[in-house]
Structure formats: structure tokens, C-alpha cells
Structure 1
């Protein structure tokens, strides 16, 4: 494929888990690490209870041994579409059983050569196993440039704080909420820096790959390429989607457009209508003194506590900066962050940038087939989260 040799090992594992244990040992001894390697077939065991339905429970020790074999070598499972299970015992009643016994495992080299490889479980006919079909072409389309995300590892660089301080203290005529609007004017300069960054990250991956060689298992925690590959393969593939009117969308472009249309309709504001006046039913529960405390300007310590309460690994908003950046550079950015928060509490108009967010779709089930099977969540900017956290902390003690 593409004038490149790759190795395929066809597996037909024994029914007894003790005999399968010997197979795992042999496969590890014959492991291929310098060429693309696909290890596929009937492994005769599952990776978890969710891969089994009906019949007798699977032996826990056998499941653990199989997972240990996969983890020890660093196998990555190929993405799958189609049926959830690949085997049926053909029995009836309480003896009826389904399991996912067939799969394809890849080493890191293969995962990088075939990043969009997909295993499809076809319809079962005469055999008790479903046939497997493999596709090695690009199954998805990426829309637009990749978003910027602050990498926490940059904090450990010896010159990190100097770079932030030099750029943060650049001549700007204003502070607070309007500062962000001016900073966005120079965003084009960031794009060039981002290209340089991507080039250096590619160099780092090359350095790690050369350093690891055949000893990547011992150096697994340092293999950026492995974790990057593993993360990309974990992203779900949406092959088709059904609209409320029954129309089936089966191309990336159609699915993308369908998602935008569906959630535009789902999230848009409803038509305003006249509501009855129920204010006379609501009794005052907040004293005037408590109300004054809600509106007072936050202290530096209050802003800091709200910022530092946000987990470092929390998903960032559209600007790509998580709380890790602000926490690491607090002595540099403190005045500007506090000024922005106080602007908000004074009642100054908040730039659209702060309230804008990414809408991420979280599947409610393993293989959703309709847009209603996704739960939308908003990824907000860190400063917006600070606004919210201060308000919640102040309201919590006075509201039951």
C-alpha cells in the first residue's frame, strides 16, 4: 500500500483462557515495532462487560489478561462501525449470547500510516461471526484551521515567564474588558508564531521517535507521537446521521451542514410572549445588606481564588487559553484580570468575545444515529468562568 510494506497477523485464539495466555506471550515476543503491523481476527475474548450481552458472564481474569496484553505492547484498536457485536452463539432463550470477539489491533507505526483506518462489521450470514471489512481511506473532512490551545508543558520552559512578561507589558492604552478587543487586532501575528510552533513540535516528535526506537515501552510516557496517535484514534467517526424528516446524511459535508441547521433551530431564542405578573407571589429573601455584598467589587484575593479553582486540564474556550496559563503567570496578568472582572461588576458592556463559546457535541450513546442523540455543551473562556464562579460563590450562602 503506497509502495510500503506492512505486516498482517491473522489471529484465531483458543477458547480456553490459559491457552490464550500463551498466544499473548508469543505475539509479544514476535512484536513488530519498525513497520506497520495489523493484528486482527477472532481473539475469543472481550475487553469489558459492555462488549457482551446475554449468556454466562465472562471470566474476569481472562478479560484482564487480554487488556494487559494490549496495554503492555501499546496496541491501538482500529475504529469500528456497524454492529456492536461480532459473534452470536445461535442459541435461544436465556442461553442466547452476543459478544465482540473479533477486532483489529494496530501498532503505533500502523496507526500513523493509516490514521483514518476503519473496521466495519458487516451482516452475519452462515457463520456465527460477522465478516470484517477494512477501509483505509480518509473517512472525514476537517473544516477550517485547527484552533489554538495553550499547552501546559510550555510553563516548564526556562524562558516562559520572560516571554509572557515581555509581550504582556507591550504598550497598550487601556485595561479591563476593552483590552481584549484591542489585542485581537494583532491576531494575525499570532498565526505566524503558531506555524513556527507547529514546526518545532514536529521536530520534537522526530527527536522522540529517534530516541525511543525499539525501547518505546520503557519510554512510553515520553512518546508524544504515541499519545497523539492514540488520541486521534479515540475520536468518534460519524458515518451517517438521520434528520427528523427521515432524510439520511452520509457525507461529511452533509452531516456538518445538518448539525449546524439542527442546533441553530434547537438553541435559537423562542418567540417572546406576554407573561402574567407573578411578582406579588415572590417574597423578599435577600436583605439589603446582602444585596450590597453581591454588588461590591471583587477583591484581588476573591478573583485569584476563583481563577485557581478552575482545573488546569479544563477544556479552554475559543481563545485556547486554559486556567493553567493564568495560574502560571498570575504575577504578570493579575492586574489586567482583576480590572476585567471589576469592569464586569461595575456594569460595563462586555465584549462579545467573552460571552462567545465553542459548542461541543457529546454523544448520549455509543453510536448515535440522529442529532437528538447528542448533548451540546459550551466551552467558555476562562475569564467568563471567573465571572460566573464569583457570582455563584456569593449567592450560595444566602440562597437555600
Structure 2
């Protein structure tokens, strides 16, 4: 491994030598990796058919804790050593790394290979992460459990002299502040996790020695609840560039421009709005109208390039409503959206339960909250007059077709028209 990491493949000698040394022994600061046969287990379930020694296990676990080491999880097998008859098995081959190794390689995995004729299982230490390009910012609703989130947002929206900054630009600035803020939170949580592990180890030693009280047992349960977290597993996908290119070429061909010589006569609309209706549609936007549009949007919809959801917007409404009203009013008066607010992500949504082919997906656009708010305002206003301007012929629905098939449906109708005439 690169990055100045020291690999110690015959780890058992190093571990035993470290355990025998006195308290003045100092391990050189990493990054470093210990990988290989440790000749020791960490739990009783790590041995089967052989003698389990609690004292040796406690010493080994203490060595790992005192040295600030972390074990890389093993994938594929429960035991890494087996005698020839198969009557004895142990999990003694491990990978222990220092914390700064994880900061360099945060997606380390230890995968067991085929044992073959050896009594030990070969292990592969590798980095699981595959680069699909930069990871866009996304606001997670779980972040709202922190009380100081609103203070972070207020530091952007309520700064004196910032009234001239458009709302989308303030959201972009808030994104940077939130990214720095949540990074500090994660570091704090990591430090707390280490403290919990150390405390749990102390309590377990007291339990084994018969010194634990009822309060210690309750504390242990509380620490387990605090430590509980969801382990996210990433799917291992090969050749991401090939996958990207395959999807790109499929939809490029499907939606590429094809010149058509068919002529369509200009048709004047049969239904028109009167002056009063037009004036109502073009009236000034109010704060109440914007709030109704925001609350009409689903809170959990997938975010666009800005990374924010409407649950976040609703949570900080009192902080942002003045800036939002100013920017929406400017967009209506100038008939122009602020810079970057119309940007969108294109993502793929499966059309069937178990998609296996590219055609089983359909692309959709994920847009930012400001664009959605303006679009919702227009939709709410137009909904009051839609029956006056849309004819019955225009409201037809073709069953079994997707919205994206619109250009294809139109092309099919034009071909049918040419055949008939």
C-alpha cells in the first residue's frame, strides 16, 4: 500500500512482542497496517473445537484498544484457519489499521479468498470505492436533529448587507457552510464512538470480575443504544465508465434529432382568456402565495443540484422567507430566473421491479428548490383557468406510454396523418 504505510505481514510476532513490552513502549505513529496471522482471537465465537483462553483474549483486545487500532471487517468467511480434518477452526487472520489509514482509505475491505491446500485462508486487503465522478451535495433529513443547524443557516441569510444577494446564491453559500458544519459533527461523533467503546470495555471487565452494579448494566445498555448505527453496504460494480457510456449512447440515439419534412398548418387557439383573467395571472407574488406553493411540494422528493429538500425549506422558513420573496418577485418582474437556478441533474428511474436492461429505466430531471417553487406557483395559478384554454382533444391520455414518449407519439401521429392524406 502507498502513502508511507508500513505493512507487517507476520503480525503475530509483532503483537506478542508488543504485549510483552512494558508501559514505556511507544509505537511509532502511523499510518500503519498489521495484517496476517495474529495467533489469537477476540471473542469466544472465533474458535470452534479448540481451547478458548479468556486472559489471552483480554490482553489482545487491550492491545488493540490501547494502540488506537481498528479492525477491517472480513467478508466471505467466519473462520480463517482450519486443520486438515476440519475439526478445529479459528478466526486468527486479521487486518488492523491505524485511524489515519482509514482517513486515507475510508473504504477498506478485507475479502477472503479460496483456501486451497493451505490451512490459512488467503486474504485480500483492498479499497472498495469505485469512482463514478464527484459526489454531489445532498442534504439529509437526519441532520435536522442537531439544534444548531438553524444557526448555520442564519449565518448566511441574516447577515447585514446581504439583501442584494439572490436566494439561489445564498443557498449555494449555505451549502458550503453546511458541508463544513456536518464534517465537524462527524468528527465529533467519531470521537464519541471511541469513548463509548473504551467505556463498554471497562464495564465488561467489571462484569467479568463481578464488580458491576445495576447502574453499570443500565449504562451498558444506554451506551449500546447510543452506539447503534446503520451499516450501509455499497454494491460492487465493475467498469463504471462502460456503464455510463452504454446509458449515454442508448438515450442519445433515442432522442437524437431527426429532420421531418411534414408541414403542420398554423392553428389559432379557439379558447382565449379575457383581460381580467390575464391580469389575475400576472399579478404580483405574495409571501402567502409562495408559502402555499412551498407547502404544496412533497417534503421528501429527490433533490436537484442544490442538494436541498422541501422539508429543509419548511424547517428554516422563517429565516429565508424574505429573501425567497425578493428573488421570486424579481424573477416574475424580470421574466428571468437567477443564474444556476435552472440547472438540473438527469437520473434514471426503473420502470419495472427488477430492471436488467437499459430500456427498463427512464430518465428524469432533478431540479433545484427555487425552480420548483416558481414552477409550482405557475401551476397553481394556471390550474384555475386550465379548463378555459385546453380543448377536449388536448386532454387525451394514451395508456401505457411514458411522458418521455411524447416526441415518439407525435412522430407516430404525423406518419399516420401522411398515410391518410
TM class by smaller structure: 0.5 to 0.7
Is the Cα contact below 8 Å between 2:305 and 2:344 reproduced in 1? yes
Q: Do structure 1's residue 313 and structure 2's residue 313 form an aligned pair?
A: no
SS where residue 386 of structure 2 aligns? coil
Query: Could you tell me whether the CA contact under 8 Å between 1:152 and 1:324 is conserved in 2?
Result: yes
Q: Secondary structure at the match of 1:163?
A: helix
| Cα distance in 2 between the residues matched to 1:291 and 1:320 | 35
The structural deviation recorded for 1:394 is: 1.4
Check 1:210–1:371 CA distance in 2 against 1; reply closer, same or farther (3 A cut).
farther
> Superposition pairs for residues 206-285 of structure 1, below 5 Å?
225=229, 227=230, 229-230=231-232, 232-233=233-234, 251-266=239-254, 275-280=263-268, 282-285=269-272
Give the match's secondary structure for 1:279.
coil
Answer yes or no: is the 8 Å Cα contact 2:152–2:178 preserved in 1: no
How many Å separate the matches in 2 of 1:270 and 1:172?
52
Q: How does 1:130-141 map to 2 (within 5 A)?
A: 141=130
Asked if 1:167 corresponds to 2:149, the answer is no
Output the CA distance in 2 between the equivalents of 1:315 and 1:173. Answer: 29
Distance of 1:399 and 1:357 partners within structure 2: 27
Q: Which residue of 2 aligns with 1:341?
A: 328
Which residue number corresponds to residue 75 of structure 1? none
Relative to structure 1, the CA distance from residue 206 to residue 261 in structure 2 (aligned partners, 3 Å threshold; closer, same or farther) is: farther
Question: CA separation in 2, counterparts of 1:375 and 1:318?
Answer: 19
Corresponding residue for residue 152 of structure 1:
141
Q: State the distance in 1 between where 2:110 and 2:250 align.
A: 27
Which structure would you say has the larger Rg?
A: 2
> 2:339 matched to 1:362?
no
Distance 1:193 1:263 in 2: 39
- The offset of 1:381, in angstroms, is 0.8
Say which SS state the counterpart of residue 151 (structure 2) adopts.
helix
Deviations 1:255-283 (A, max 9, x none): 12333343445456665877523423x31
Q: CA deviation at 1:209?
A: 6.9
Equivalence for 1:393 = 380
- Between the aligned partners of 2:254 and 2:189, the Cα distance in structure 1 is 39
- Contact kept, 8 Å, 1:303 with 1:386, in 2: the verdict is yes
| Counterpart residue number, 1:142 | 131
Residue 219 of structure 1: CA displacement?
8.6
Query: How far off is 1:386 after superposition?
Result: 0.9
Higher relative contact order (CA 8 A, sep 6+): 1
- 1:117 is displaced (CA, Å) by 7.8
Structure 1 partner of 2:50: none
SS at match of 1:167: helix
What is aligned with 2:9? Answer: none
Give distance in 2, aligned partners of 1:327 and 1:314. 13
The alpha-carbon deviation at position 188 of structure 1 amounts to: 7.0
- How far 1:327 sits from its partner (Å)? 1.5
Using the size of structure 1 for normalisation, the TM-score is 0.53
Query: Given the two structures, how large is their TM-score scaled by the length of structure 2?
Result: 0.51
C-alpha separation in 2, matches of 1:194 and 1:336: 24
Q: Is the 8 A contact 1:8 1:38 kept in 2?
A: no
CA 1:186 to 1:293, structure 2 compared with 1: closer, same or farther past 3 Å? closer
CA-based RMSD:
4.7
| Alignment correspondent of 2:315 | 328
| 3-state secondary structure, aligned to 1:146 | coil
Show CA shifts across 1:113-144 (max 9, x none): 987989xxxxxxxxxxxxxxxx9966761333
Q: Distance in 1 between matches of 2:199 and 2:385?
A: 58
**2:153 and 2:174 in contact (8 A); partners too:** no
Unmatched runs of 5 consecutive residues or more in structure 1: 10-33, 41-111, 119-134, 240-250
Matched pairs, number: 275
Instruction: Name the CA distance, whole Å, in 2 between partners of 1:268 and 1:209.
Output: 58
> Does structure 2 retain, via aligned residues, the 8 Å contact 1:205–1:224?
no
Deviation at 1:364, TM superposition (A): 2.9
Which secondary structure state, in structure 2, belongs to the residue aligned with residue 149 of structure 1?
A: coil
